[in-house]
Structure 1
Amino acid sequence: MLSLPNTGVHMRRLASCLVLLAACPAFAAEVVIQQVNLSFTPSSVTVNVGDTVKWVRTGGSHTVTSGSSCTASGLFSAPLNSTSTSFTWVVPASTAGTTVPFFCSPHCSVMTGTIIVRLPAIPGDFDGNGVVSGADLGTLLGAWNQPGSTDLNGDGTTNGPDLGILLGNWTT
């Protein structure tokens, strides 16, 4: 049987890292869109699944309604007025890779905006084609025992745990 020196130490370190990673909260961003006169500023934002989009009223009576061409899509709809001065929406996974248009119901011909929802990155997809495949495996193996973008777990070196992450996301 092959015996590796300090295997127990490495396994304890890996287990400790996984426990710490699991204890860390997800880092979602908040993007703020202001209602300014008859416009939303900015009118277009790019977000990730899990981020929060917050619309803030600066005056007048308005709404924030998902949809386009004055037709609601049903994802969200809320007033922006003197009693409801803000509205927040957490970006759901079902919108990944889409553009979510929105408008103000009373001013739908001029008061519009869009939310561009990014596709989530796939750890190990080094060539960015949306799948983890043999080409990505070759990239990782070519960088073995070196630091860099192939270090998927952030321990400073491309090694076994990174290979495990890549194989766990294998899609081809």
Structure 2
Amino acid sequence: MSPSKNTNKKRRPKKKKSIPNVEYPKKIVEVAENKKEKVYEYLNEWHSNRASWKYKKLYEIWLVKNFLKKPMLGKQYFKIFLLYVENMKGLSKQRCLEKVQAIVSNNESRSETDESPKERSIKLKRAKAVLKVEHKLEGGLSFSRPGSGLLKILECMFLGFWWK
């Protein structure tokens, strides 16, 4: 027979590693501020110089997560973001619109949250502004995108006269 192991021995608990709490939050704040500044540069570059602008998915994700928060995306940058939303594509745009529609529908049902009335008001105004931009795009009247707006109207007029 094989020797049996002694199961009566107690194991010592592992020591927990201590993490210094003093400097950790400061680093998080610095990283967040640094990220915010980089996103601001990204938006400014997109707005002012699209020839040298380069798409960065992480910055777009950050924008979609934080565009409703006034401290994260100031008024000046929110206006640029509204123009940016017109050109967004794919899942990012879909998530942005889902987020906005959820806020508008939650406001109508008067659900209580931990936010102050002022914060809710700002979120609602921003959500409605994004929806307004999206509805303008669905109508086909955006002049900032090639192939839409005035060109579509002219194409429809031309095709309409052509077929009559």
> Could you tell me the TM-score, scaled by structure 1's length?
0.24
Greater CA radius of gyration, 1 or 2?
2
TM, length-normalised to structure 2: 0.25
**Which protein is richer in helix relative to its size?**
2
